[in-house]
Structure 1
Amino acid sequence: MKYAIITGSSKGLGASIAERLIKENVNIVSVARTENEGVRKLAAEKDLFYKHFTCDLSKVDEVDLVFSEISDIIFSGNTEEVLLVNNAGVIEPIDKVGNLDTNKVNINIQVNLLAPIVISNLFLQKAKDCKLTIVNVTSGAGERPIQGWSTYCSTKAALNMFTKTTALEQQSEQSKHVIIGYSPGIMDTDMQVEIRSSSKDSFHDIETFKGYKEQGLLRSADVVANALVDLLISGDVQSGTIYNVNELLK
């Protein structure tokens, strides 16, 4: 059997990835604070295994508990492949250093960086008899500084390095496991709404991001999800690579 575990699967890119994988006959484990009924119904129509877990990824104890339960379910004797998509992410706080909300900084680090590390660590411990592919959804913000996004840029840069380092370790062990990053570019999602709702004082480039929406430059989550899944099913995935949607859609 093939399983995909997707965090942040209730909306946006996570929901689109889940829907596309269901069409590819992959069993789905959904992880989010709320459940997407459309994803659940689509899996039922395809007669696939589907289970939703409610989880607040900003709470490490909750992450440990939920993903231990998930691993007990999916790492069974008849599991051939497991795909873990660490998709959930938060952009807040959007503000200059010196004005940052400490609680929002903590949540950002927990969700964007700590949760993917903890989950990946657990799954690599458990994936003894099947192939594990880990996709860490990152951002171009992890490769360049953006004023007002210091925490987001930092967590995504750290996630990229975690991805590359883990891949190097697995290659040294001649493991069959694969770990990659995926930078989805600018999408028409709730995160973009949140960005456009910030102030000029907090976010230097706000007019640029408003322009993306006004000029129709935001890709749909479905387009971005399909590019990722097409890559995964191509069989030509290079572990340790940070893939960019712009390159995949050329």
Structure 2
Amino acid sequence: MHLYIVTGSSRGLGAALAGQLAQPDHTVIGIARKLNPSLQAEQWPVDLADPLPAAERLQAWLRVHTGWQSATLINNAALLSEPGPLAGSDLAGLSAALRVGLEAPALLSRVFLAETSNVPERRILNISSGLGRRAMAGSASYCAVKAGLDHLSRALALEEPDVGIVSLAPGVIDTDMQVQLRGADPERFPEQTRFQGLKDGGQLQTAEATASAIVRFLLRPDFGKTIVADIREA
């Protein structure tokens, strides 16, 4: 059996990934704040803005469930704080975005690496963004956590050379996050018109199509060769 752990699995790209990975010989665990009734996977309703309980639950579960042929952790969950200057952001919202986007992946990766050491084939896929590589005004926290995921992946690849580790930018996807960016106040978020233009120009990919490309990428024999990657260039 092959194990897949997907965060942010209740909607968008996470739901599409968990759904496509739900195969007869796969065990899929979805971790998200809410349940997705249509998802054929084991689901843990956990808020990753408080990531320690989620990491502890995964640790306990992995210590009981062993014998996997392969194990994969997909850190997909992200939380976008209200678009606008950092100085005007809500403190609680900012804290939640940073914890979901970077603290949770670090804790879950720590548990995953420690508790799957006997699994023959292991992968960690961190869903990053082009904004982790190109700064954008009005989204400092999102840029920071995605850049952090890139560098976390680089460091873990040095520590764990036998584990396939990739931080992958998935392209521009038509998700609730895009709706939030298009609906932002242009006076506080100067890039609003650009994101509206992506929608108007038909340049957004569906979550299902992006998930299909990511699953193909994930299962490639050379997964992990390029640590910081972009699905559009893979």
TM-score by length of 1: 0.88
- Between stretches 5-14 and 56-65, larger displacement belongs to 56-65
**Which residue of 200, 212, 224 corresponds with 1:238?**
224
**1:134 alignment partner AA:** I
User: Quick one: distance in 1 between partners of 2:44 and 2:205?
Assistant: 28
Amino acid of the structure 2 residue aligned with 1:151: S
Letter in 2 for 1:222: E
1:62 shift after superposition: 2.2
Please give the residue correspondences for 1:148-167 in structure 2 after superposition, counting only pairs within 5 Å. 148-167=138-157
Higher helix share: 1
Aligned partners of 2:174 and 2:205 also within 8 Å: yes
Deviation at residue 68 of structure 1 after TM alignment: 2.2
Contact 2:129–2:169, Cα closer than 8 Å, also in 1: yes
**What are the equivalent positions in structure 2 for 1:95-114 lying under 5 Å apart?**
95-114=84-103
The answer to whether the 8 Å contact 1:55/1:66 transfers is no
Task: State the match for 2:76 in structure 1.
Answer: 87
Q: Secondary structure at the match of 2:22?
A: helix
Distance in 1 between the 2:109 and 2:226 partners?
14
| Contact 2:217–2:223 (8 Å) recurs in 1 | yes
Q: CA RMSD in A?
A: 1.5
Output one character per residue of 1:194-219: Cα deviation in whole Å (capped at 9) or x when no partner: 11111012211100101111111100
SS at structure 1 position matched to 2:189: coil
> For the residues of structure 2 that align with 1:125 and 1:71, how far apart are their CA atoms?
10
Q: Is 2:52–2:104's contact at 8 Å kept on the other side of the alignment?
A: no
Percent identity of the aligned residues?
29
Q: Which residue of 2 aligns with 1:6?
A: 6
* Alpha-carbon displacement from aligned partner over 1:122-160 (angstroms, at most 9, x marks no partner): 111111210220000000000011010111101111111
Q: How far is the alpha carbon of 1:104 from its aligned partner?
A: 1.3
Matches within 5 A, 1:23-172: 23=23, 25-40=25-40, 50-74=41-65, 76=66, 78-130=67-119, 131-171=121-161
**What code does the residue aligned with 1:182 have?**
L
The answer to whether the 8 Å contact 1:53/1:66 transfers is no
Q: Report the equivalent of 1:182.
A: 168
Partners of 2:116 and 2:225 in 1: CA distance: 16
TM-score by length of 2: 0.94
The size of the alignment, in residue pairs, is 233
Q: CA deviation at 1:65?
A: 3.1
The CA deviation at 1:25 is 4.0
Given that 1:167 and 1:239 are in contact with CA atoms closer than 8 Å, whether structure 2 keeps it comes out as no
| One-letter amino acid matched to 1:96 | P
Rounded Cα–Cα distance in structure 2 between residues aligned with 1:101 and 1:121: 29
2:128 is aligned with what amino acid?
T
Unaligned runs of 5+ in 2: none
Structure 2 CA distance for partners of 1:210 and 1:240, relative to 1, 3 Å: same
SS in 1 for 2:71: strand
* Structure-2 residue corresponding to 1:45: none
TM-superposed deviation, 1:96: 0.8
Instruction: Evaluate the alpha carbon distance shift between residue 247 and residue 6 of structure 1 in structure 2; reply closer, same or farther with a 3 A threshold.
Output: same
Q: CA deviation at 1:113?
A: 0.3
SS in 2 for 1:234: coil
Looking at structure 2, the residues matched to 25 and 247 of structure 1 have their Cα atoms a distance apart, in angstroms, of: 30
